[in-house]
Amino acid sequence: MEKLMIRGGRPLRGTVQISGAKNSAVALLPASLLAESEVILDNLPILSDVAVYSEILQDLGGKVTWNEGTIRIDPSEMRSIPMPNGKVKLLRASYYLMGAMLGRFGEATIGMPGGCNFEPRPIDQHIKGFEALGATVSNDHGSIHISAKELRGTKIYLDVVSVGATINIMLAASRAKGSTIIENAAKEPEIIDVATLLNAMGAKIKGAGTETIRIEGVDVLHGCRHSIIPDRIQAGTYMIAAAATRGDVLIDNVIPKHMEAMTAKLQEMGVRVYEMDEAIRIVGQPTYSAIDVKALVYPGFATDLQSPMTSLLTRADGVSILSDYVYSNRFKHVPELARMGAKIRVEGRSAIIEGGPLHAAKVRAADLRAGAALMVAALTVEDGVTEISGVEYIDRGYDSLVDNLRMLGAEVWRENE
């Protein structure tokens, strides 16, 4: 096991390239098995979750070749096999195999997914969608077994706005008979990315990115080539880090529209933000104003950026309030920030943050975004070296993190624990 070592106090300066979106990649990879011929994905992030997913596709009989940012998947000889344990337990997004295998083979047996455990995230809306399409779903010793002689399109209303359920239903419905309508669908850019891939494969999907998605099922999907959208969470983290260190960073390969909620909050604090066609420049300032932030479903402020935003708010003058209306208990980073001297208290869904300097400490990442919060905090510390263990969580979401931070002037390295 490794730990991340950071000697802070250096403003980040320079340019950082954002990789493909992790939250897209882990849905696009299983989506590829719906095709009958080769699927090529470009701008693929080099992450542990992506590596695990590529191994899962090979276990299912797919031929997978991965060369830097491009992966080729030949799903023509894939077969349906039960996957109750093993690799599916290593990542949360393994549940996308349910919709993809159901659409391709008419059945799936998948163990309950793993990943970051900051809060239980039930899959009841996924199951509701599968059953509405005509599938039978049962829970057998911790594994979900789904089967259908024939999937038939229908109208499905999601009781809760869910990215995972929206994508999973799209995957299955793309091969169903007739028309499917998903109402109260999630609107995240990653959903549009998955719909774009499926349409390029021959699916008929309209309305992705709105609350109503219409899908006309087709019998066969074919291979295609698709470039993954930039990772808005990775981009937002670097925006936060640049502001927190009072640096000057050009974040390249981004879609500024995806960052509007983050941009608005940074500007409210007093950060200078300059938008270009495919880049955003962040120029930090000597002082920042305290603000209130509410994490909401897209297009609101992303819950995945709530944790690193907490660290930035310790740099503001006064008291800020950060509330998460997506997950009620996503504050595992707060006790670790307290070890670094942060003055934060949690009340229900909100963290009340009093600005003030932080100091070096030994801390542990409890999940992916908590690790990002500790990384941002460590970069601001004026004296000493912060040791962050649990680096395996951070590696799930940040491609070439150490190299990128070094190119921006940070003093960061890894050591074995």
Task: Quote the CA–CA distance of 87 and 99 in Å, as a whole number.
Answer: 17
CA of residue 161 relative to chain centroid, distance: 16
Could you tell me which of 25, 49, 51, 44 has the C-alpha nearest to residue 116? Answer: 49
Task: Quote the CA–CA distance of 133 and 135 in Å, as a whole number.
Answer: 6
Task: Quote the CA–CA distance of 77 and 58 in Å, as a whole number.
Answer: 10
Give residue 266's identity as a one-letter amino acid code.
L
Task: Quote the CA–CA distance of 301 and 236 in Å, as a whole number.
Answer: 10
Question: Token digits for 343?
Answer: 């003055």
Establish whether 116 is a catalytic residue: yes
Scan for tokens 């719909």, then name that residue: 195
HEC string for 202-269 = CCEEECECECEEEEECCCCCCCCEEECCECHHHHHHHHHHHHHCCCEEEEECCCHHHHHHHHHHHHHH
Which position among 98, 116, 172, 182 bears the catalytic label? 116
Question: Token digits for 247?
Answer: 């640096």
CB 223 within 8 Å of CB 39 = yes
CB 79 within 8 Å of CB 264 = no
Task: Quote the CA–CA distance of 162 and 160 in Å, as a whole number.
Answer: 6
Instruction: Please report, to the nearest 10 degrees, the dihedral formed by the alpha carbons of residues 115, 119, 124, 126 taken in order.
Output: -40
CB 185 within 8 Å of CB 167 = no
Task: Quote the CA–CA distance of 360 and 4 in Å, as a whole number.
Answer: 13
DSSP string covering 277-294: SSEEEEE--S--B--EEE
Instruction: Please report, to the nearest 10 degrees, the dihedral formed by the alpha carbons of residues 371, 375, 376, 377 taken in order.
Output: 100
Query: Which residues have a catalytic role annotated?
Result: 116
